[in-house]
Amino acid sequence: MLLLFVSFVFIVSQHVTWGQLTRSKQVNVDVYVEAQCPFSTRFFANELMPFVRQFPHVMNLTIIPYGNTECHRIDGRVSCKCFHGPNECQLNQLMNCMIHRHPYIYDYLDTVVCIQGQPDLATAHRSCIAGKPDEWMLMKCARSRRGFRLHLKSGVKTLKTGVENVPWITVNGKYNKPSEYAFRREICGVSELC
């Protein structure tokens, strides 16, 4: 009986140690995008998603939808102009609402990737959000001050990082331009997990 208990403790301790080791070896990746940027859409489809499907636990991934939006305070009120127009602002807000409601990346990633590149909020609703348990909460958020505030919050992080174009990818806190076209090579080059 004692041998069984000791074996159990050893196995559990090895599991915890492996879990801690895995987390410590994960690569921190932040991807700054804007919802209607064709380069962001290409990056999601050709680089990020194939990598995530093959190596889901290699990185701590964060998506930040804001891009080249410009916000200004006029007469005490903040207004924003997105690079590709007002539809992009609404789509950025929808992405930010999705990320806010589902903080675990794999709960929102497929939906955010679906929203990316959509022409407008109604199409994104039909194609990406319809049928989800929180569909109406997400759409309400995207059209509300809350969605606007979440978009501004992503803007603060974007501006603080010094983003100049999108997609802007940081790997372990440093801008990594080659990862836009060679994501797997760049991430696996700094990770022992792939």
pLDDT of residue 87 exceeding 70, the answer is: yes
pLDDT number for residue 16: 42
pLDDT number for residue 17: 42
For the chain, give every domain's residue range.
Answer: 27-188
Per mean pLDDT, which range of 13-17, 30-34, 92-96, 99-103 is the poorest?
13-17
**Of 36, 179, 48, the residue nearest 109 (C-alpha):** 48
pLDDT of residue 64 exceeding 50, the answer is: yes
State whether CATH 3.40.30.10 applies to domain 27-188. Answer: yes
**% of the chain at pLDDT higher than 90:** 85
What average pLDDT is seen over the chain?
Answer: 91
pLDDT number for residue 91: 99
Tell me the pLDDT band of 15, cut-offs 50, 70 and 90.
Answer: very low
Please tell me the total number of residues recorded for the chain in this structure.
194
**In this predicted model, what pLDDT tens digit does every residue of 98-144 receive, in sequence order?**
999 999 999 999 999 999 999 999 999 999 999 999 999 999 999 99
Tell me the pLDDT band of 25, cut-offs 50, 70 and 90.
Answer: confident
pLDDT number for residue 24: 64
